[in-house]
Amino acid sequence: MGCAWAEPALQSSTTLVTSPRGESARQRPVFLEADSLSIRPDLDALAEGKVELRRAGTDLQADRARYDTPKDQVRATGSVVIRRDGNVYKGPVLELQLQRFEGFFLQPEFELGQFGSGGRAERLDFIDATRSVATRAIYSSCPRDGSADPDWLLQADKVTIDSEAQEGRAEGAVLRFLGTPILALPVLTFPLSDARKSGWLPPSIDLDSRSGFMVGMPYYWNIAPNRDATITPTVRTRRGFGAEAEFRYLEPADAGRVVVDLMPSDQIAGRTRHAWLAEHAGSGWGLRYSANVLRVSDDDYWKDFPHSVPRTTPRLLPADLKLDRELDTWIGPGLLYARIQQWQVLQTTDLGTAIVSPYQRSPQLGLRVTPKAGAGWQASIETEVNRFTRPDASASAALPTGWRLHALGQISRAWTAPGWWLTPKLAFNAASYALDQSADGLRSNPGRVVPTLSVDAGMVFERNVRWFGQDRRQTLEPRLLYVNTPYRNQLSLPNFDSAERDFNLISLFSENAFTGVDRVSDSHQLTLGVSSRLFDAATGTQTLRLALGQRVLFRDQRITSDGVPSTQKLSDVLLEGSTGLIPAWQLDAAMQYNPDSRRVVRSILNARYAPAPFHSISAGYNFSRGSSEQVQVGWQWPVYRGDAKPVGAASGCGGTLFGVGRINYSLRDSRITDSILGLEYDARCWVGRVVAQRLSTGPSEATTRLSIQIEFVGLSRLAAGFNSANVLKDNVPGYQLLRDTRHPSNTGADFDDRP
C-alpha cells in the first residue's frame, strides 16, 4: 500500500472481467481435509482437528467445521481463517454459503490484500463475493499487529466494503489520529484504492502573514469517468469566508477545466474578491481550438492570494483564444489561424515596481504555407494581419496602437552527406503599418522590406575512446553561420512584439538578433562554434557535452535595442558544458566572456547530487554583471529513519522524516528573495507535511505562508485546493513525490498538470 496521495486521473477502461457464477460455480468440487472426518453422502460432512476446506477461489481453515451438502453451506468454529481473492478473515465463528459467498463472521479480523487495509469488527456479514458489511468496526490501512492501535483508524457503527466498486461507506463514523478524534460524521464514504471517489478530502491548514489562519475543507465529486469537480469551502481569520470550485472534463476531442475562487466580503479590503480561470483545448470540424483565460478582481490579488495566479508571471494575466485549420493550397500544405490575445496587468502604486504592459492582439489572422519544391529545395511563406492595442490608457505617439500587415518568406537548399551539411538560405521580412497615432513629422503608414542571405554549414567527426574503464564514442562538431542583412532604417517604425534575444548558443546561431517581426538586425557577420559530446558506447547515453561559440562582425550593427550602434568586432565568447560522468552527479555550467574588457559578463553553475530516489541536493550560482548575483540551494533528503525498510516500501511502520526546501539568496542585495522550507513524515500509512514559504512581493515586502497537510492512506489520497506537495514539486529542483515508486502500475495521467 502506498503512503501518499495522488491527484485523481480521468481514465477509461476497455475490458471487463467476470467470475464464474450460477451452475458452473456450483459444480466446482469441494476438498475437505481434517484429522477426523464423518461423512453422510449427499447430506453433510463433519470435520474436526486441523480442518481445511478448499473450493476454487476459497480456502478455509478451522478447528471444527460442518459442511451441509444440499445447502452448499459450511459452519466453522475455533480458529477460523478464510482466504479469498487475496483477502483474509480470521475469527471464532463462521457461517457461509460457499457458492454465493453469503453468510456472517463473528468477531473477525480482516485484511483486504488488494487494498492493503483492514480492521476488526463485532460481526461481518458477507453479502456476496465483493460486498460485506462490518458492524461496530475499526478500519485502517496501518499495520494491525495487535500491540497497539493503528496511527489512524476509522471507528464506525457500520462499514460497508464494496471491492468491485473499490469504495467504502461508514455510518456513525469517527476518525481518530494518534488516539485523538479529529472528525465525526454521520456518513462518510471513502475510496479503497486510488480510484476516484466522491467524498470529503483531508483539510488543508495554512497560516498566511496577509490573511491569517486558513482552513479549507475540500469535497471531491466524481461526476463521471471523464468529469469531476472539487469544491473547497474556506475560512480565513482575517478576511472571512470564501470558496474555491474546480470543474474538469475530458471528452474524446475536448479537454479543459474551469476554476472559480470567490470571497464575497473581504474584511480587510472591504469588498468582494474573486478570480476565475478557464482552460480548454479541443478539435472538431477540421479545426483545432484552445482557450486560456485568467482574471482577478483587483491589482493586489496576486499578493493576497498567490495560489490563484501563475508563479512565473503573477502580475500579467492572459486571455488567449486560438483557432487554426490545416488546408491544402495549390502551392502546398498550409495552416490558417486566428488568435485574440489580451492581458490584465496588475499594477502597483509604487512607480519603481510598475511594469509596462505588453501589446494585445485583437485580432491576429494569418496564413502559413509550405510550397512544394523539388530537388532538395525547401520554402515557406507566412502572411499575417494584426490589430495591436494596449490593455491600459498608455497609448501615445511613443507607444502607438494600430494595424500591421507583414509577410515572412524563405527558400533554402540543403546539401547533406554523412559527416557534413551545407544550407544556403534567402529570406525576407516585409511589414506595413497603419497607426492610430504618430509623432510629429513621421508617417502614419510606414513600411519596409528587409532581405537576409545566410549560409549554415557544419561537420561531424566521431571516434571511439575509452574513459574511466568504459568504451565511449566522442564527437567533434564544428559549425559556422554566415549572415548578411542590409541596413534598413527602423527608427520611425513602432515596436509591437520585438525584443532582443537572450545571448546564448542558440541565439548565437540565429539570423536575427531580435524576436518578433518589427525589428530586423542589420548584419554582416560570421558565427563560429564547435562542440564535442561523449556517449556511452553501449547505451548511447550522453555523458559529457562541451560547446564554444563566438561571432565576428564585419561591420557595425546599427539596429540595436537601445538605438546605440554596436561597434564590437568580436562578440562575447560563450562556453557551455554539462556532464553526468560522475555517478549520481549532474553538473551544468555556462559562461559569457567579453574579450575587450577581459571580464566575465555572465556565468551560470548548477550541480545536483542524487544518489538514490528521494535523495537530492542541488546548488546553483547565477551571475550577471551589473544586474544580479544569486545563489540557490535545494534539497530533499531523509533526516530520520524509524526502521531499516527502504523508502517506498509497501508495508511496515516506523516512518521516515524528510527535509525538503529551496532558498534563493541575492548576493547583490544581501537578502533572501524566495524560500521554501518543509518537513515530510512518511509513516507508510499516513503522510504529514509542514511547508513554510516566503515569497517576495516587492523590494521591501514579502508574504510568508505556513501550510500543514495530512494524508491518510486507504481513506483518502486525493488533494485539492491549497496543496503544499504541489508547491514543493514546482519549486524544489529534483523533488519527488513520496508516492512515485510505490504505485508503479498506476500509469494514468491527468490531462492537466495539477496534483
* Integer CA distances (angstroms), 364 to 14, 337, 497, 537, in order: 42, 8, 12, 49
Q: Which of 243-247, 260-264, 694-698 has the lowest mean pLDDT?
A: 694-698
For all residues of the chain together, what is the average pLDDT?
A: 85
Residue 717: pLDDT over 90? no
Check residue 143 and give its pLDDT: 78
**What's the grid cell of residue 312?**
512565473
Dihedral over alpha carbons 48, 118, 193, 82 (to 10 degrees): 0
pLDDT value at 747 more than 70:
no
User: What percent of the chain is modeled with pLDDT above 90?
Assistant: 52
- For the chain, what percentages of helix, strand and coil (3-state, to nearest 5) are there? 5, 60, 35
Looking at the predicted structure, is the pLDDT value of residue 440 above 80? no
- Contact by Cβ (8 Å): 323, 338: yes
User: SS3 of 48, please?
Assistant: strand
What cell was used for 338? Answer: 486566428
Q: How many CB atoms lie within 10 A of CB 194?
A: 21
**pLDDT confidence of residue 750:** 38
> Could you tell me if 454 and 425 are in contact, meaning their C-beta atoms sit under 8 angstroms apart?
yes
Cell numbers 475437505: residue: 32
Of the pLDDT bands very low, low, confident and very high (cuts 50, 70, 90), residue 353 is confident
pTM: 0.78
Question: pLDDT tens digits for 623-680?
Answer: 999 889 999 999 999 998 875 444 433 334 468 999 999 999 999 888 888 899 999 9
- Give the integer Cα–Cα distance in Å for 417 and 92: 81
d(CA 370, CA 329): 9
β-sheet bridge partners, residue 296:
275
Higher pLDDT, 242 or 714: 242
Of 529, 373, 551, 522, give the one whose Cα is nearest residue 453: 522
What residue segments make up the domains of the chain, in order of their start?
32-192, 396-403+411-581, 606-755
Interval 59-118: pLDDT, tens? 999 999 999 989 889 999 999 999 988 899 999 999 999 888 899 999 999 998 888 888
Q: For the ranges 242-251, 358-367, 382-391, 746-755, which has the lowest average pLDDT?
A: 746-755
* Contact yes or no for 592/572 (Cβ under 8 A): yes
Q: How many CA atoms are closer than 13 Å to the CA of 402, on its beta-carbon side?
A: 22
Which of the four pLDDT bands, split at 50, 70 and 90, describes residue 393? confident
Lowest mean pLDDT among 12-16, 151-155, 459-463, 469-473: 12-16
Residue range 706-718: mean pLDDT, rounded: 74
DSSP 376: T
Residue 4 pLDDT more than 70? Answer: no
680 contact partners, CB below 8 Å, separation of at least 6? 657, 658, 660, 687, 688, 689, 738
Identity of the amino acid at 558: R
Residue 439 has pLDDT above 70, yes or no: no
Q: Which CATH superfamily is domain 32-192 in?
A: Lipopolysaccharide (LPS) transport protein A like domain (2.60.450.10)
Range scoring the smallest mean pLDDT among 61-65, 480-484, 690-694, 744-748 = 744-748
Q: Is the pLDDT of residue 608 over 70?
A: yes
Instruction: Say if residue 284 is exposed, middle or buried (CB neighbours under 10 Å; 0-12, 13-18, 19+).
Output: exposed
3-class DSSP assignment, residue 695: strand
Integer Cα distance of 233 and 244 in angstroms? 6
Is pLDDT at 754 greater than 60 in this prediction? no
Evaluate whether 216 touches 721 at the Cβ level (below 8 Å): yes
- 376: exposed, middle or buried (Cβ count in 10 Å: 0-12, 13-18, 19+): exposed
The reported pLDDT for the residue numbered 130 is 87
- pLDDT given for residue 357 in this prediction: 86
